[in-house]
Amino acid sequence: MNLLNEKQWKSRFKPNSIDAIVAEHVWEHLTYEEGKDAALTCYPYLKTNGYIRCAVPDGNFPDDNYQKGVQVGGPGPTHHPAASHKIVHTYKTLKSMFEEAGYTVRLLEYCNEKGKFIYNDWNEKDGFIYRSKRFDHRNSEGNLGFVSIILDAIKPK
C-alpha cells in the first residue's frame, strides 16, 4: 500500500473499517509533510479508537554507530536499507506529526532529549514490533543495542 495514494486506499477499504495499522520502520522514508499526509490518508479508514502503531529509528538514542546507520540517506551504498531515509525523528517530531493530523498519541518506547530510554508497557498482540526493547536480538542482558520510537496514533471519538 502506498501511504500517499488515496485512490489505492479507497479501492481497498471502506471508511471506518480498520482496527489497526502496523508500520514498522516505514514513516522515516517520508518527509515530515509526507508523513503527516500519510497519517491523514489513513485517518478516514480507521474505526473510532483505531490506531496506527508506528515505529521509527530514534534520533535521541545515544549511540554513534546507530545514528550513522539510520541517518538521512543512509551510511553508504544506495542498496543499504537506510538509503531512502528522509528524516530521523525524535519522539517530539513523530508525536507532533500525528497530532497535527488529528490523532491522540500514546508513546510506548522512546529516548528523551538526554538519551534516557523510556518504556511504557504495550501488548505485542495489538501490533508486533520486532525492533523494540523486548524483541530485537540486539537488546540483551539489560543492554540496548537497537531501539525505536514506538507509538500508537489513535483516532479519537
Plot region of 91 (φ>0 → left; ψ -120 to 50 → alpha; else → beta): alpha
How far the first Cα of the chain sits from its last, in Å, is: 26
Distance CA 57, CA 72 (A): 11
Predicted model pTM: 0.96
User: Looking at the domain that runs over 16-154, which CATH code has it been given?
Assistant: 3.40.50.150
**Within 10 Å of residue 77's Cβ, how many Cβ atoms?**
7
The contacts of residue 83 (CB under 8 Å, 6+ apart) are 73, 74, 77
Domain ranges of the chain: 16-154
pLDDT in tens, the chain (157 residues): 899 999 999 999 999 999 999 999 999 999 999 999 999 999 999 999 999 999 999 999 999 999 999 999 988 777 888 999 999 999 999 999 999 999 999 999 999 999 999 999 999 999 999 999 999 999 998 899 999 999 999 999 8
